[in-house]
Amino acid sequence: MSGADIDLVRAQFEGVNQRDFDRVMNLYADDVVLVVHSSFGLEVGTARGKKDVGEWFGEWFRMFGPDYQFEIDEVREIGDAIFIRATHGGHGRASGVEVRNETSYLYWVRDGRVARVELFGERDEALTAAESLERSKPETD
């Protein structure tokens, strides 16, 4: 993993905050996989491919007003994964009610594109998942 991979993930969040979704989706591999864990709470499951992943995020973002923003609170490398903890919030599109939440993410970057994203509602769950994946990797000499 390189600093460029972390910069790529940060650029994705910046693009989202600027509502430049075309730029954001160009950062994703064509075969990107999105896994939404039950602790995240909404639309649990897996989306495969840039089209399906884009549709999932599009549906999610349509629930909120244009003021919805993300702030990265924590970034760290865990093996091949990039762990992100972000605070996000704004107002509901229909209700106008203020919404604030924290989400943990695991990102994997391959060939300069986001290849996999996992969303977790709980920080410790994301860290445990990343560490477990790292421990289960076969050792290479």
For the stretch 119-131, pLDDT in tens is: 999 999 999 988 8
Percent of the chain with pLDDT over 90: 74
d(CA 5, CA 69): 22
- b/e map of 27-52 (b: 16 or more CB within 10 Å)? bbbeebbbbbbebbeeeeeebeebee
Split at pLDDT 50, 70, 90, the class of 141 is very low
State yes or no: pLDDT of 1 exceeds 60. Answer: no
CATH for 3-134 (3.40.710.10, 3.40.50.1100, 1.10.10.10, 3.10.450.50): 3.10.450.50
- Highest-confidence segment of 7-11, 89-93, 136-140: 7-11
State yes or no: pLDDT of 93 exceeds 80. Answer: yes
pTM summary value: 0.90
